Structure 1
Amino acid sequence: MFLIEIAHPSGALTDDDRAAVARSIISGLMGTDEEAAIEGVAEETMRRARPMTHVAFRELTGWTNGNGPVSAEAAPPIWVTITVPEAWRDDMARPTTGFVRRAVRRLDNDHGWQRTGGDLWINMVGVADGSIGLNGKPSTADDVLEYMTEEFRAVLDAGRELPEGVLLDPMCGMQVRLDRNAITLDHDGETIGFCAPGCRDAYARRNGITVQTA
């Protein structure tokens, strides 16, 4: 679940500009951007994740800052709101804002725009459990994750070959390299790897496992 709304002054961006920005952000989030490729993503999970990811634009009239009306000659100010479940916010803030920032940088380069600072805002907003409207129903972050990974978990037992030193996240199917930065959970003598704390915690709640944190 990524709901990304991008506001800009009316007329500042063309349809082609908006399409390019949306395409850049989506390719980052979906792991198809060559600069930010995500390895080992389960296709079953991505089939659900793609239609749960939205980028839309809003044109605002009368845009004014502390110096007065914004100039049509300068790089247009851009105000981005990214909405995710609150439980995901800390984990997702840095990579997701990075994808958006990269998309805006490409746009600026295409137009020869130079930003002076204070004209690009990317705000990550978390929605509390029970206030998330998955398919129109009050839901939690765990509900969103369960829905997004349902197809993957249905075929999890089919078995998958993994490279040496790699674990499979049992919630979403991401391949996790077992190194010092790996997010793991030890249970019944088995080390289980996860792509993010959100997947680990959801898996633990689903299976009645207590997560030991430092």
Structure 2
Amino acid sequence: MLLIEIVHPIGRLDDRDRELVSRAIVDLFLEPDGHATETIRRARTATHIAYRELRGWWTGGGPPSDDAAPPLIITLTVPEACREEAAGTFIGLARTAAKRMDDHHGRQRPRGSLWVRVDGVPDGSLGLDGRPATGDDVPAFLTEEFRAAWESGTSAPVPEGRLPDPICEMTVADGKNSLVMEDDGRRLGFCSQGCRAAYARERPEAVVA
């Protein structure tokens, strides 16, 4: 789930530009990459990319040149608990998305004309379907369909030597340095400290293995 705003000078992006940038962001950030089909489908549905045009855009050197790639300010809003991890991926992804648009026009982007900001908001400050949400609520919403199948035993089997992450539904290697918990006889793996902490809050009876 992504909430993205892209700000640019008025009249500098057309519908094709917006499509190129939007598709690049969705395809790169929400690629399957081991995630369950149900989760990717829900994440794509809950992703919103809005464009805002501004008049009177100036830089320290004056107004932007019409011959160069237009300046962009791209902002991603996520729960504070996800901010650092999201920033590590999204900043480079936004650069790639802008480059696809620039390549389409055969133009170079001046240095300093693309700014990417990842804003983290505290728990309760992000409304999911109009209700205050926490950092745990967002992944729970995205993986709801997968987790229902997993808990009922109808999800796809986990490959040998790997463990399911019940928070984000990825599978992780069952190795010496893996983040592992045991819960009701099940051995679970976690892709990050954040996922393990979220599960521990949800299932305090689970123990670190």
If the length of structure 1 is used for normalisation, what is the TM-score? Answer: 0.86
User: Aligned match of 1:187 in 182, 190, 198?
Assistant: 182
- How do residues 32-111 of structure 1 correspond to structure 2 at under 5 angstroms? 38-111=32-105
Contact 2:182–2:206 (CA under 8 A) maintained in structure 1: no
Contact 1:152–1:172 (CA under 8 A) maintained in structure 2: no
Name the aligned partner's letter for residue 195 of structure 1.
Answer: C
Any stretches of 5+ residues in structure 2 without a counterpart?
A: none
Name the CA distance, whole Å, in 2 between partners of 1:22 and 1:116: 21
SS of 1:155 mapped into structure 2: helix
Cα distance, 1:211 vs. partner? Answer: 8.6
Cα distance, 1:66 vs. partner? Answer: 0.5
Percent identity for Structure 1 against Structure 2: 49
SS of 2:108 mapped into structure 1: coil
Cα distance, 1:172 vs. partner? Answer: 2.5
Cα distance, 1:164 vs. partner? Answer: 2.8
Cα distance, 1:149 vs. partner? Answer: 1.7
Q: Which residue of 1 aligns with 2:161?
A: 165
Can you list the C-alpha shifts for 1:69-118, whole angstroms capped at 9, x where unaligned?
A: 11111111110010011100011111122221111111112222222311
User: Aligned match of 2:119 in 115, 120, 125?
Assistant: 125
The reply to whether residue 134 of structure 1 matches residue 128 of structure 2 is yes
Name the aligned partner's letter for residue 154 of structure 1.
Answer: A
Name the CA distance, whole Å, in 1 between partners of 2:52 and 2:136: 30
Name the aligned partner's letter for residue 194 of structure 2.
Answer: G
Name the aligned partner's letter for residue 3 of structure 1.
Answer: L
Name the CA distance, whole Å, in 1 between partners of 2:37 and 2:194: 19
User: Aligned match of 2:193 in 194, 197, 205?
Assistant: 197
Change in Cα spacing, 1:113 to 1:209, as seen in structure 2 (3 Å) is farther
Cα distance, 1:185 vs. partner? Answer: 2.5
Change in Cα spacing, 1:66 to 1:180, as seen in structure 2 (3 Å) is farther
Cα distance, 1:210 vs. partner? Answer: 8.2
Name the CA distance, whole Å, in 2 between partners of 1:60 and 1:209: 52
Q: Which residue of 2 aligns with 1:29?
A: 29
Cα distance, 1:49 vs. partner? Answer: 1.5
How many residues align? The count is: 205
Cα distance, 1:195 vs. partner? Answer: 3.0
Q: Which residue of 1 aligns with 2:5?
A: 5
Name the CA distance, whole Å, in 2 between partners of 1:190 and 1:51: 31
Q: Which residue of 2 aligns with 1:35?
A: none
